[in-house]
Structure 1
Amino acid sequence: MTNQTVKVLFFFAVLVLIKAAAFSQSRTQINLDKGWKFNKDSTHLQNINLPHTWNKDDVMDDTPGYYRGACWYRKTLTLNDSYKGKSLFLYFNGANQETEVYINGHKAGSHKGGYTRFCVEADQYLKIGANQTNEIAVKVDNSFNENIPPLSADFTFYGGIYRNVYLVATNKSHFSLSHAANGVFITTPEVSASKASVKITGQIEGSTAHLSLITTISDGAKTVAKVKSNLTSSDFTQNIPAIAKPHLWSPEDPHLYLVRTQLVDAKTGAVLDEITNPLGFRWFKFDGEKGFFLNGKPLKLVGTSRHQDIEGFGNAIPSNYNERDVELIKQMGGNFIRVSHYPQDPKILETCDKLGILASVEIPVINAITENEAFTETCKNMQVEMIRQNFNHPSVVIWAYMNEVLLRPKFGDDKARQQVYFANIKKLAQTLDSLTHKEDPSRYTMIACHGDYNKYRSVGLVQIPQIIGWNLYSGWYGGQTSDFAKFLDSFHKDFPALPVIISEFGADADPRIHATQPIKFDKSVEYAVDFHKVYLKAIEERPFVAGAAVWNLADFNSETRDETMPHINNKGLLTWDRKPKDTYYYYQANLAKKPFVKISTWQIRAGVSDSLNQSVCTQAVTVFSNTSKVNLKVNGINLGSKDIIDGMTVFNVPFKNRLNKIEAIAGNQTCTDAATINFNLIPAKLQADNQPDLHINILLGAKRFYIDQNQNIWQPDQSYKPGSFGSIGGVAYAMKGNSRQSYGTDRNIINTNDDPIYQTQQVGIQGYRFDVPAGRYEITLHFAELTTDKTKEALAYNLDNTTNKETSQERIFDISANDKPLLATFNAASKYGSLTAGTEKTEVTVIGNNGINISFKPIKGEPILNAIQLRRIKD
């Protein structure tokens, strides 16, 4: 080998090292989630990792309210010499809601708003060197602030650094991190099946002298376009030559290209910064008469809204949980997500891009506004942050900025002042709408309104956005489900050119509550299924309805709620920990393309045996499927097949006592589901039965079944029938002045996690009988005084009442069992407290055919009984 050859090889080796070093000198991002210290006061420090919220537990206790205030996070950080000369940023994916960042005692930056990302310039405060320690301190405050939306809402405002935090290191010349965006923005001015053009814009921070910009568009391993241009200013634009026959992006085929934009030193070829973005070629439009079109074809948008909290985590959830939620929408057959009521973790839209879920994203201007410049500026900044941070996601088609802002407006007692308030709301809407079009003219704008059509029209909000969203709950908070279709037709008649999305609709489905004859506000899963059947049918029958988002994908925390599951909004298609309910399977049966069959999730049951056959109890079982027919087998016996109508069918199943094996077969034997249903069979003639493990759990004043936390099934009461069991006298308790709920209370019951046991009762009860055979029995009586002088403001969504107020009743009575005194001068409110659960147990020995007779003798007021249990004691 000659010296010249060695020199040439050495020269090329140096070039390789220079290029390798240049690549390594590009942007780096280091996760800082580990090793923080947290304190809510000045004395107690906790070692924690991020994501973190301090409200994970206190939002679920029986004490009203949860901590809303300031807390501190601290971390030490050492940076080696490789960070010298770099621009350094602390990048927060989310902290709620006011954040101040301190570095080595210096205030480095702050942010207002709990749901958009933000970054803080840090290099001027950070000390570089292996022996240098940096102290990072972050103050986060989730206190109410009239200048930061949301001011109020039906969800919990968790505090904390509840998303990931990073250290971002760049060269001094780099793509701008303004508004925590990546500094590169992609548009597709022209897209068709034959060709597509791409435009790249953005901004550079630092010197632009002798810098070039290289953009490469790749389709997998194939480069489909590459453009290089020299920078002449900090703002740049690149026009990419048309790409022939682009692979279009759609829900059925969410094909993504990759756009790599590099900032290059023109002299050395060193890559100073690099940003990658997804690119999906698609075009879309909303039409007032015909709905939504994607790539020139009509597409009904159907999916769900989504809140970000999960049981056991609050809103501080691991990243993969965000991906899983979008996957569950896709698995259901959905093609749309309303990211509500605030921008969420970056993984949400990243997963929407990959799976083909179209998205609407909004800022949290909810229920009310503050009429000052500070509030307006915060809203504007939120809108800009939301748009710029999520600009390059092909899944996004709508930017929204208000939700139910006229639900319970201020100044109700001063109509003249209220008109000024309405004018300021309209002004804010116009400001945000114009700002949105300026930031991104390619997408549509939307306001989501509650069902008071005349109010939104008279204020002028209906006329501002390009799409109107309606949050409609006919048949839940008021009216009947049949009112839903009437509303849609009436509105469309007045505004035929305005595209419509049903931005919310739903009914509570407490997964523990079931009903054979469901009624409005019984919280049963069965009523919710009936509700969604009516709504989905009306949506699908109307081409002008562009889309619909079920409220909600999953149950979520709302600390101020009471009802059957306190602090939880149960309208989710999934439970808080993401277990599907029947409502989820209903949509899967109607939307999914792959063959599907599912037996109802009601798999712990009870009932009284049939009059003609004491060995079974016949009850309806729902099966969901997208096939034409389903065959059902029960305990090896074929019950035959039934046609599937609107995604479901019902079989009358003869259940035996204890375990029952059910198999559903659909799709020409290719699609099956199996379930084991545990059935507590109560003999119609108790004295003719000799069950050694006989147990009966009865809810009084109720028409629903309930599965408690120990997996015991409770069944509705019946009037006493000789030879059987039941109550004597009295009426079901119903809240006064509440047309929404026909029985029971919706108030939180203290000292229990099984609120439905205590939320209903029989008032004025005279007795309760069990005509059981001879033996020893344990009787448990359950009480809670449901009347109280304590007032509680009703949620704004309960439109038929503004407060829960009822005069407390004093009730004193004696209770005896088979003529033996059990409780004397008993007063549930005095013993336990109002709205507080209490139990009383006794043992009764039955001789002969006398059965058990529990008597209630009034002393003052009317006797009450909420629930009763009977259990045979084995000898």
Structure 2
Amino acid sequence: MKKYLLCALVFLMGTNAILAQTSQRLINNWEYVKGDLGGIWEAVRPVKEGNPEASPVWTKVSLPHCFNALDAVDPDVNYYQGPGWYRTNLNVDNPYQTGRTLLHFEGAGQKTTVYIYNTKVAEHVGGYDEWTADLTDAIEAFKKLPVFKSQFKGKIPLSIRCDNTRDLEMIPSNLSDFNVYGGLYRYVNLIYTPKLYVDKVFAETHTDLKAKSANLNVKIRLADPAGSIGATINCELIDPAGKSVYRYTTKISAGAGDAQLFKTTIKAPKLWSPTTPAMYTLVTSLNNGGETSVKKEKIGFRNFEFVKKGPFMLNGQRLLLQGTHRHEDHAGVAAAMTEDMIRTEMTMMKEMGVNFIRLGHYQQSRIVLDLCDSLGIMVWEEIPWCRGGLGGPIYQEQAKRMLVNMVEQHYNHPGVIIWGLGNENDWPGDFPEFDQEKIRAFMKELNDLSHKLDPGRMTAIRRCDFARDIVDVYSPSIWAGWYRGNYTEYKAVSKEEFDKSDRFLHVEWGGDSHARRHAENPDNALSLIKVGGGADERAGDASLYGGAARVSKDGDWSESYINNLIDWHLKEQETMPWLSGSAFWPFKDFSTPIRPENPVPYVNQKGVVERDFTKKESFYVFQSYWSKTPMAHIYGHSWPVRWGDEGAERMVKVYSNCQEAELFVNGKSYGIRKRNSQDFPAAGLRWQIPMFKGKYTIKVIARSGKTVVTDEITQEYQTEKWGKPATLVLNKVSEENGVATIEVKALDNKNILCLDAINLVEFMLTGDGKLIDNQGTSSGSRKVQLYNGRAIIKVMTQGGSSVAAVKSAGFKTAFLDLR
């Protein structure tokens, strides 16, 4: 029996596969070298025992793997940009007599070259689109060499060179606010196909709400079409309940690559929506000389419209797009997120109440798109033409090629409603010339190409005002309360921008928050801000120095402020009937090379969760407006110590979507509040509590109909006034399963905790243990700003003894003996 099960259909991740044939994810048994080799021979030449200088040192890794798993957020180095090599030996056993053996890349960064033994078989430029390398001929040639059996014992040596070296003639620009990662950071698959197989299926759907029907137009693309005459194609459409609703059979009479297959009408289709993401299955099988190629696609029927000078409509009803953004980035792995990690992230978004996502700023993994379909999340997906200006012919050809690949590879996903053509293309810097007319001309070329490839979806760009008239949907720059203006200006500036565009959608808004930092008076910086000067982001606004007053520079970066900003935006959006929707930037903190001086160095901290999925308080603000599942959350789960005068009233806020909530402080009820979304802040669910020095247990009981939900926190109230920080004190606060948590506190000369201290501290360790750092989180960075006078980090003790230390400019270094 063949090693791989030969069946009608084997799917990567159980969903839309480019080549739905016998396939295997190549996860284990890889080796990696950071840096370049002298040539492919160094990857495959035999290494004799006792002669280690004949080969570089290879490290065992598993896929997905990113060059920059840790150095992307290392506070002391620039992240690595250059070549890296991977190698493995394949067991190849193709069950098809005249079949093809393919290597399928779901994405690799940024330039990739593939070798079988010392023969180059494929190259690809672009870090985000899928592609395949045909290994068949090179494998057959290698099998004839003596080393096939002598050195490689019947296995096939596969070597892959990835390279993310800076290159002005590639997109995205290195001026972008995210890392241009390197490596095999998405899955790589070994696939066996017959010589003739179904390469792609394009299922075009049009839903007629009045007729209560949907038209389905199916086209196919065959590989090796010259040998297709006489082959039989069978198609079957299966509804969400598993019932077959349409079948089609035909014989191929002439060789063709792309061909019209069939058109049909589906009566009373089950419509796809965020609340009921109904998915149909289209199975296309091709039989040729007894060998069968099968491809299975998930499709959906829905009707959407961005109303001219109006809102967004889905299936005939107005729907407010409640969105966020995603970067492919995670603590400890960078871009190399596993399928389980991606599923966790997307499920958290749905839990928060998201029904829309912009995938910034590049084509993302098929796993992401499949989850959007199944969870009911609509998608704006875009090519990585991001900042820098416009390059030459090579640059432009790559952009067009990536647009074609993105549209063709994600054509059948019902969640996709927008193809994005660019981001911040008004941002110069990569080239001596910055010509607005040339950028407009190229944007027009991309727009026409997108509509030719897919007439049924919209095109869009963000922040390039001089090209706003070219695309179908436009998003200007509006950062009310962060880069410009006050958040209370949000509705007014949005209406001004709405009036300038036929179809307006607001993507990217919000602001940074240093997780675990809180404030008693978070809006203080707004008194410095000029109102009425606009709310867009302009050159230099992201800098922490110079220029006009702005919250991004002069604010406290507390979770408290960002909660207020988000709360205001969401309550206003409920009173903007003309608004199609918005997308908060972004869902999760992510690494970036252009923000080394942030509280967590090299991290864009605008997410509602940290880089390791730790929820910030802002997650629950969104949930209180967007989620339908009853919830209640007391603000301050990561705020251990509040402060103020003895007996001063302090606001306790509860974020909840329930109709009413009752607050208890140390067992005493402080009354019931009714929820009113327009009663800012916290939709009226707030209480003024007189506080005295000591500990407080705060509990809320919220009710929605017969459903009751609760939440509880414990806080300490400090009344002692502190002076200037004078001493750092380092202590171990816990240890579990060989992992110790250590905490530094900044005290004044009377040993009082300085609750407004934001000093940058650096953790160090010597001995047997290991710091868990370079995570890009508030609790996983060896250099980090204090949050309310403290900071924590974890240490793997590794069963030994270590000495931890923490230093900061102007302080004596503090030490801690860990035994």
Query: Could you state the TM-score of these two structures normalised by the residue count of structure 1?
Result: 0.73
Give the deviation of 1:283 after TM superposition: 1.1
Counterpart amino acid of residue 107 in structure 1: K
> In the superposition, relative to structure 1, how do residues 732 and 36 fare at CA in structure 2: closer, same or farther (>3 Å)?
closer
- Any idea what the Cα deviations from partners look like across 1:110-158, whole Å, max 9, x if unmatched? 1111111111111111146996321111110011111111112111122
CA distance in 2, matches of 1:715, 1:367: 41
CA distance in 2, matches of 1:476, 1:699: 29
Count of residue pairs the alignment pairs up? 686
The one of 122, 127, 135 aligned to 2:157: 135
Contact between 1:76 and 1:136, CA under 8 Å: does it hold in 2? yes
CA distance in 1, matches of 2:813, 2:449: 63
Corresponding residue of 1:754: 784
CA distance in 2, matches of 1:714, 1:23: 62
The one of 221, 236, 251 aligned to 2:274: 251
Q: Report the structure number with the largest CA radius of gyration.
A: 1
The one of 425, 438, 442 aligned to 1:405: 425
Q: Helix, strand or coil for the counterpart of 1:398? A: strand
Q: Which moved more, 1:652-661 or 1:627-636?
A: 652-661
- Any idea what the Cα deviations from partners look like across 1:403-442, whole Å, max 9, x if unmatched? 011134568xx9xx54xx2222112211111110111111
Corresponding residue of 2:201: 184
Contact between 1:151 and 1:366, CA under 8 Å: does it hold in 2? yes
Matched, 1:144 2:169: no
> In the superposition, relative to structure 1, how do residues 608 and 259 fare at CA in structure 2: closer, same or farther (>3 Å)?
closer
Query: Alpha carbon RMSD of aligned pairs, Å?
Result: 3.4
The one of 615, 636, 639 aligned to 1:580: 615
Matched, 1:475 2:481: yes
> In the superposition, relative to structure 1, how do residues 430 and 408 fare at CA in structure 2: closer, same or farther (>3 Å)?
same
Superposed counterparts of 1:201-216, under 5 Å = 201-206=219-224, 207-216=227-236
Q: Helix, strand or coil for the counterpart of 2:139? A: coil
Contact between 2:516 and 2:639, CA under 8 Å: does it hold in 1? no
Counterpart amino acid of residue 622 in structure 1: K
Matched, 1:514 2:518: yes
Contact between 2:744 and 2:806, CA under 8 Å: does it hold in 1? no
Give the deviation of 1:583 after TM superposition: 1.3
Contact between 2:217 and 2:263, CA under 8 Å: does it hold in 1? yes
CA distance in 2, matches of 1:81, 1:205: 17
Superposed counterparts of 1:351-750, under 5 Å = 351-408=371-428, 418=434, 421-449=435-463, 456-457=464-465, 459=466, 461-495=467-501, 498-518=502-522, 519=525, 520=551, 521-561=555-595, 562-608=597-643, 610-611=645-646, 619-646=650-677, 647-648=682-683, 649-653=685-689, 660-667=696-703, 670-679=707-716, 681-683=718-720
CA distance in 1, matches of 2:746, 2:808: 17
Q: Helix, strand or coil for the counterpart of 1:663? A: strand
Q: Which moved more, 1:48-57 or 1:229-238?
A: 229-238
Contact between 1:227 and 1:240, CA under 8 Å: does it hold in 2? no
Counterpart amino acid of residue 528 in structure 1: I
Contact between 1:499 and 1:544, CA under 8 Å: does it hold in 2? no
CA distance in 1, matches of 2:567, 2:207: 40
- Any idea what the Cα deviations from partners look like across 1:765-807, whole Å, max 9, x if unmatched? xxxxxxxxxxxxxxx99853xxxxxxxxxxxxxxxxxxxxxxx
Q: Structure 1: which 5+ runs fail to align?
A: 1-19, 177-182, 450-455, 685-695, 701-706, 734-747, 761-779, 785-827, 829-837, 843-875
Superposed counterparts of 1:194-205, under 5 Å = 194-205=212-223
CA distance in 2, matches of 1:782, 1:101: 47
Q: Helix, strand or coil for the counterpart of 1:510? A: coil
- Any idea what the Cα deviations from partners look like across 1:571-598, whole Å, max 9, x if unmatched? 1111111122221111110111122211
Contact between 2:213 and 2:265, CA under 8 Å: does it hold in 1? yes
> In the superposition, relative to structure 1, how do residues 23 and 626 fare at CA in structure 2: closer, same or farther (>3 Å)?
closer
Contact between 1:606 and 1:715, CA under 8 Å: does it hold in 2? no
CA distance in 2, matches of 1:522, 1:194: 54
Give the deviation of 1:443 after TM superposition: 0.3
> In the superposition, relative to structure 1, how do residues 469 and 84 fare at CA in structure 2: closer, same or farther (>3 Å)?
same
Give the deviation of 1:468 after TM superposition: 0.2
Give the deviation of 1:196 after TM superposition: 1.5
Contact between 2:420 and 2:459, CA under 8 Å: does it hold in 1? yes
Give the deviation of 1:162 after TM superposition: 0.4
CA distance in 1, matches of 2:641, 2:746: 6
Query: Could you state the TM-score of these two structures normalised by the residue count of structure 2?
Result: 0.78
CA distance in 1, matches of 2:100, 2:322: 44
Contact between 2:389 and 2:426, CA under 8 Å: does it hold in 1? no
Corresponding residue of 1:238: 261
Corresponding residue of 1:74: 87
CA distance in 1, matches of 2:137, 2:61: 27
> In the superposition, relative to structure 1, how do residues 553 and 23 fare at CA in structure 2: closer, same or farther (>3 Å)?
closer
Q: Helix, strand or coil for the counterpart of 1:126? A: helix
- Structure of higher RCO (CA pairs closer than 8 Å, 6+ residues apart): 2
CA distance in 2, matches of 1:387, 1:622: 45
The one of 34, 39, 53 aligned to 2:28: 34
Counterpart amino acid of residue 101 in structure 2: L
CA distance in 1, matches of 2:358, 2:808: 42
Corresponding residue of 2:538: none
Counterpart amino acid of residue 591 in structure 1: W
- Any idea what the Cα deviations from partners look like across 1:236-266, whole Å, max 9, x if unmatched? 212243221111111111111111011123x
Corresponding residue of 2:812: 839
Matched, 1:59 2:72: yes
Contact between 1:22 and 1:271, CA under 8 Å: does it hold in 2? no
Corresponding residue of 1:293: 313
Give the deviation of 1:732 after TM superposition: 12
> In the superposition, relative to structure 1, how do residues 643 and 506 fare at CA in structure 2: closer, same or farther (>3 Å)?
same
Contact between 2:389 and 2:429, CA under 8 Å: does it hold in 1? no
Q: Structure 2: which 5+ runs fail to align?
A: 11-19, 38-55, 526-550, 727-732, 735-739, 760-777, 791-804
CA distance in 1, matches of 2:707, 2:29: 51
Q: Helix, strand or coil for the counterpart of 1:563? A: coil
Counterpart amino acid of residue 184 in structure 1: V
Give the deviation of 1:657 after TM superposition: 6.1
Counterpart amino acid of residue 231 in structure 1: I
Counterpart amino acid of residue 467 in structure 1: V
Identity of aligned residues (%): 26
